[in-house]
Amino acid sequence: MRDVAVVGFAQRQMPEFDGSPTCVELLVPLFAECYEQTGWSRGDIGFWCSGSSDYLAGRSFSFVSAVDAIGVIPPVNESHVEMDLAWAMYEAWLKIQTGEVDTALVYAFGKASAGVLRRTLALQLDPYTMTPLWPDTVSLAGLQARAGIDAGAWDERAMAEVANRSLTDAEKNEYAIRKGGSSVEELLARPMYADPLRKHDCSPVTDGAAAIVLAAGDRAREVRDRPAWIEGLTHSIDPMSMGTRDLTRAPSAARAATAVDLVGVEVAELHAPFSHQELILRRELGLAGDVRINPSGGALTGNPMFSGGGIRIGEAASRIWSGEVSKAVGHATSGPALQQNLLCVLGATTEGARN
Amino acid sequence: MFYFRTMTRTLSAPVTVAFDYTRSTGPVLGRFLTGLRDGQVVGGRTSDGSVVVPPPEFDPVTHDPVTEFVDVAPTGTVTSWTWVPEPVAGQPFDRPFAWALVRLDGADAPFLHALDVSSPDQVSTGMRVQVRWAEERIGAITDIACFEPEDGGDGGFETVASATSSTTDTEVEVRGAPATSPDTTVPVTGVVTPVSLDYLYAASPEESAFYRGLNEGRIVGQRCPTCQKVYVPPRSACPADGTPTAEEVEVSQTGTITTFCIVNVPFLGQKIVPPYVSAYVLLDGADIAVLHLILGVDAAEVRMGMRVRAVWKPREEWTYSLENIDHFEPTGDPDADFDTYRHHL
């Protein structure tokens, strides 16, 4: 296996983007940031891959329009996934592993506010037995939260603790769109929204985009003194049905965790769009008590559709670059109630990589 | 049609994207949906012996096809629930309701559907519920209208039934036995799922300038500062080199037909009676052609290089739309040399 590192990362998050859902306007400055971080230009990028969905944009082939932000004369090597940025990154990592390219810029974008996000996401469910009922994302998470409360796996206080820590940490994150912690008691005193969820238990509808730059070997070393080397990258999926898995668990997250080495992780950026989902992930990943969770504030403070997962990897990488930590994990989820889970373990050296 | 929203820099308009998805069911989901049509909930037995509703097409452990079906009761127990304070379009209710996971009697895995209660106080894990069948059943998940409390509590069915002698009471009619008598001889093999999504579609700032220009009788493009190409309609970034377009440029209302087609075939939604000509018109001063209608000339006379001008609708009909230009018509000038548009084909 080739040593591949995260060497660039840029993001934008906002409650409502006043512009076209093609998001070209957001992507151009993100690419400019990536060029500045790497010292590269467009011609240095061996592979491009984007994540987005036409259902979110409300128009067909929106990802083709977004390619304008790259500029494609001469032509570029380009692909697309209808998945979060983290999965676009997975494809780029595979592309680099094939030896065909040494560098990649992956990006994702979404204007969730153009429609009703929690409704639009019903289209990712089983089209025979679920979508015709339009079960919304918040409700499916609420069923999961209740199942855990009833089973004694967590309680409302534990959920409020996650929210309060996230909102407090988000005060230091310029990109977070919801911030400002108070106290667990104050959060618990707030009204129920989708019982048993309060609004702060649910990630805010967020527009935005993000980009990540990958590079192999010496191409990574030429960019940064401390590239964030990918020590492990894996993803796994559970059945979609809400009835055939124990909703208090995330077996695919546990399975992903067995495929990487999480020992020694100092920071975990977990993509938990609902507060109780962080509790599930901490358990499934077996993270030690001293692992710092979501210092960025996490998805509860900003969760742009299609980049909210990849942003977790970018945030984790940033802490490797800065020297703050030597090993971190970024997690991304997709589908209803933590159906799909991706783990990206990042380290300051290539020694931990499973080559 | 776009309109201004105050306090925004871009034009936006409501857009509804709708499509009826037609899907074949296969043997497992077909069996399940046939059962619903006939008033019977059907589960599938998986390799661990469990009865799962709806039946999965393939076993989650062995991945073998699920072939054993088990009738289960229309009554069951809530295993989890959540409250929906603000329903979205298409959900079983347009007023607040609960979603519930219900383990039907005879099944081992819970099943997701709506539960008709009027407040979260009326639902609890462990409560007994029953299927309320839809009045008309067609072989779809919506043949189950919802779950409702089995008896007792608010809206409790038996209490209502015993308290009234009226046989026209809807709740009585839909209890247990089907209210309708669908053709039960033909199995369900397909479903049609209408999907309709509402958006507020915003134009980019550059597109907004284009539509505002049209509303003033002007055609406005954007110039790429790197390659100097002028895009009409404008783009936020030059697709050739990725540079944001920065300079607004008004282009001529006269141009050259670069390529065209004669439309002879009628199609759904067609606004003009065929035959007519759709052509790419390269406006003078622009580097990309716009697609528009050519009138005022016999279709057989339209040719590459023909010079045409924009014909606008009456001013009082103008709006934020390219349709302000009704069509293009020949200017009568000599045709343009091929070299003037050869790089724009």
Question: How distant is the Cα of A318 from the closest Cα of chain B, in angstroms?
Answer: 26
For residues A142-156, give the mean pLDDT.
98
CA distances from B147 to A189, B116, B154 (A): 31, 6, 13
pLDDT of residue A352 exceeding 70: no
Most A-contacting residue of B99, B146, B288, B343 (CB-CB within 10 A), to test interface: B99
Which tokens is B11 given?
Answer: 């034009």
Domains along chain A with CATH numbers: 4-116+204-221 (3.40.47.10), 131-201+231-347 (3.40.47.10)
B159 pLDDT band, cuts 50/70/90, is very low
Which architecture does CATH list for B26-188? Answer: Beta Barrel (2.40)
For B217-252, give the DSSP string: T--EEEE-TTT--EESS--SB-TTT-PBP-EEEE--
B1 pLDDT band, cuts 50/70/90, is low
Question: How distant is the Cα of B238 from the closest Cα of chain A, in angstroms?
Answer: 6
- Contacts for B97-102: CB closer than 8 Å, 24+ residues apart: B97/B146, B98/B123, B99/A135, B99/A139, B99/A140, B99/A142, B99/A143, B100/B129, B100/B147, B101/A143, B101/A147, B101/A242, B101/A243, B102/B76, B102/B77, B102/B78, B102/B129, B102/B147
For residues B156-167, give the mean pLDDT.
37
For residues A149-170, give the mean pLDDT.
98
pLDDT of residue B170 exceeding 80: no
Q: What is this structure's pTM?
A: 0.92
pLDDT in tens, B19-72: 999 999 999 999 999 999 999 999 999 999 999 999 999 998 899 999 999 999
Residues of B whose CB is below 8 A from A141: 82
> Would the CB atoms of B81 and A244 count as touching at under 8 Å?
no
Residues of B whose CB is below 8 A from A244: 46, 52, 56, 60, 109
Interface membership of B70 toward A (CB under 8 Å): no
Sketch the domain layout of chain B as residue ranges: 26-188, 204-344
Q: Would you state the pLDDT for residue B152?
A: 52
Return the percentage of chain B with pLDDT > 90, whole number: 83
Q: Would you state the pLDDT for residue B7?
A: 53
Task: Report the mean per-residue pLDDT for chain B.
Answer: 90
pLDDT of residue B183 exceeding 80: no
Residues of A whose CB is below 8 A from B25: 128
Which tokens is B75 given?
Answer: 């009554």
Q: Would you state the pLDDT for residue A62?
A: 84
Interface membership of A62 toward B (CB under 8 Å): no
pLDDT of residue B221 exceeding 50: yes
Task: Report the mean per-residue pLDDT for chain A.
Answer: 96
How remote is the C-alpha of B184 from its chain's centroid? 32
B177 pLDDT band, cuts 50/70/90, is very low
pLDDT in tens, A36-93: 999 999 999 999 999 999 999 888 888 898 999 999 999 999 999 999 999 999 999 9
d(CA B207, CA B228) in angstroms, rounded, equals: 18
Interface membership of B113 toward A (CB under 8 Å): yes
pLDDT in tens, B70-91: 999 999 999 999 999 999 999 9
Higher pLDDT pick, A345 / B180: A345
pLDDT in tens, B311-337: 999 999 999 999 999 999 999 999 999
Interface membership of A164 toward B (CB under 8 Å): no
B181 pLDDT band, cuts 50/70/90, is low
Return the percentage of chain B with pLDDT > 70, whole number: 89
Q: Would you state the pLDDT for residue A59?
A: 84
SS (H, E, C) chain A: CCCEEEEEEEEEEECCCCCCCCCHHHHHHHHHHHHHHHCCCHHHCCEEEEECCHHHHCCCCHHHHHHHHCCCCCCCCEEEECCCHHHHHHHHHHHHHCCCCCEEEEEEEECHHHCCHHHHHHHHCCCCCCHHHCCCHHHHHHHHHHHHHHHCCCCHHHHHHHHHHHHHHHHHCCCCCCCCCCCHHHHHHCCCCECCECHHHECCEEEEEEEEEEEEHHHHHCCCCCCEEEEEEEEEECCCCCCCCCCCCCHHHHHHHHCCCCCCCCEEECCCCEHHHHHHHHHHHCCCCCCEECCCCCHHHCEECCCHHHHHHHHHHHHHHCCCCCEEEEEEEECCCCCEEEEEEEECCCCCCCC
For B13-66, give the DSSP string: EEEEEEEEEEEE-HHHHHHHHHHHHTT-EEEEE-TTS-EESSPPSB-TTT-PBP
Q: Beginning with the edge strand found earlier in the chain, give each strand of the sheet holding B51-52 in spatial order.
A: B51-52, B41-45, B69-72
pLDDT in tens, B253-295: 999 999 999 999 998 888 888 889 999 999 999 999 999 999 9
Q: Would you state the pLDDT for residue B176?
A: 44
Interface membership of A148 toward B (CB under 8 Å): no
Residues of A whose CB is below 8 A from B198: 115-116
Q: Would you state the pLDDT for residue A208?
A: 98
Residues of B whose CB is below 8 A from A59: 15, 17, 201
The complex scores an ipTM of: 0.95
> Would the CB atoms of A58 and B199 count as touching at under 8 Å?
yes
Residues of B whose CB is below 8 A from A55: 197
Interface membership of B267 toward A (CB under 8 Å): no
> Would the CB atoms of A244 and B60 count as touching at under 8 Å?
yes
> Would the CB atoms of B125 and A193 count as touching at under 8 Å?
no
pLDDT in tens, A232-287: 999 999 988 888 889 999 999 999 999 999 999 999 999 999 999 999 999 999 99
A156 pLDDT band, cuts 50/70/90, is very high
Interface membership of B17 toward A (CB under 8 Å): yes
pLDDT of residue B197 exceeding 80: yes
Least Cα distance to B75 among B98, B49, B94, B100 occurs for: B100
pLDDT of residue B18 exceeding 80: yes
B184 pLDDT band, cuts 50/70/90, is confident
Q: Which residues contact A337 (CB under 8 A, 6 or more apart)?
A: A140, A141, A143, A144, A242, A247, A277
Residues of A whose CB is below 8 A from B202: 18-21, 111, 114
Which residue of chain B has the CA closest to A243? B110
Residues of A whose CB is below 8 A from B205: 19, 25
CA angle, A295 then A298 then A302, to 5°? 130
Q: Return the number of CB contacts < 8 Å for A and B.
A: 189
